[in-house]
């Protein structure tokens, strides 16, 4: 017996909510990082401002990283809570495959991330090869862009897959799903 308030299964709603909020936060923070990167890679902007942006970007990137890594265990728990077979549910298999592509994408991005902050710190400390360091920042960030865009598309795809296939909690309805009673009446008409 799970705890309930007004017929709402709290465990179910908690894990669904956490998983959905994590996906939303992932995209939101990723957009913030994308917005910040324009200033970081621009050598025309004062160094102190670039460094400040790079530090913020690095911090947000760490949050994104944690969300990304916790997404898999939270999804596994959610499947358990909602009685969804983990390896034999067709839509979930597709979702796992898209997530696996994101993992590969992230493994590609890891060596690139962190270069900006390191190079900007070197420039502040008086490195001689400023142009080369700036070029490396710009080059690496531009190289990362297709992988970043791919992650956005895949996260969006994962969200749509979930919305179209998730199970209704018992006795609860969502606006985008027909309930069994409505489906029955449509069939009878």
Partner 1 sequence: MWMVWLLWLTVVVGGIFMGSGYAMALLDSGFDLVLALNAIVYLGCSAYGMPRLYALIFKRSA
Task: Please report, as ranges, the residues that interact with partner 1 according to CB under 8 A.
Answer: 62, 65-66, 69, 72-73, 76, 86-88, 90, 93-94, 96-97, 100-101, 103-104, 107, 110
In the complex with partner 1, which residue's Cβ is closer, 101 or 130? 101
Rounded to the nearest 10°, the torsion over CA 62, 68, 74, 75 is 170
**140/41 Cα distance (integer angstroms):** 9
Task: Give the largest CA-CA distance in the chain.
Answer: 79
Rounded to a whole number of angstroms, the minimum distance from the CB of residue 103 to partner 1 is 5
φ/ψ of 9, rounded to 5, equals: -75, 110
Rounded to a whole number of angstroms, the minimum distance from the CB of residue 70 to partner 1 is 8
In the complex with partner 1, which residue's Cβ is closer, 15 or 133? 15
In the complex with partner 1, which residue's Cβ is closer, 8 or 59? 59
In the complex with partner 1, which residue's Cβ is closer, 76 or 153? 76
Rounded to a whole number of angstroms, the minimum distance from the CB of residue 100 to partner 1 is 4
**3/74 Cα distance (integer angstroms):** 19
Rounded to a whole number of angstroms, the minimum distance from the CB of residue 62 to partner 1 is 6
Q: 3-state secondary structure string, 129-163?
A: CHHHHHHHHHHHHHHHHHHHHHHHHHHHHHHHHHH
């Amino acid at each position: 017996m799970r705890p309930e308030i007004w017929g709402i299964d709290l465990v179910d709603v908690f894990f669904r909510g956490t998983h959905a909020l994590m996906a939303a936060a992932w995209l939101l923070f990723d957009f913030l990082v994308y917005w910040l990167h324009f200033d970081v890679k621009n050598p025309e902007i004062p160094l102190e401002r670039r460094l400040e942006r790079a530090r913020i970007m690095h911090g947000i990137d760490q949050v994104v990283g944690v969300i990304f890594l916790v997404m898999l265990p939270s999804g596994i728990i959610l499947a358990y809570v909602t009685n969804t077979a983990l390896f034999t549910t067709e839509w979930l298999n597709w979702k796992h495959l898209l997530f696996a592509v994101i993992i590969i994408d992230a493994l590609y991005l890891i060596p690139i991330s962190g270069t900006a902050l390191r190079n900007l710190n070197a420039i502040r400390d008086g490195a001689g090869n400023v142009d080369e360091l700036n070029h490396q920042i710009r080059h690496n960030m531009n190289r990362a862009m297709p992988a970043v865009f791919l992650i956005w598309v895949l996260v969006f795809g994962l969200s749509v897959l979930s919305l179209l296939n998730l199970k209704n909690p018992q006795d609860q309805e969502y606006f985008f799903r027909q309930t069994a009673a409505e489906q029955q009446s449509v069939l009878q008409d």
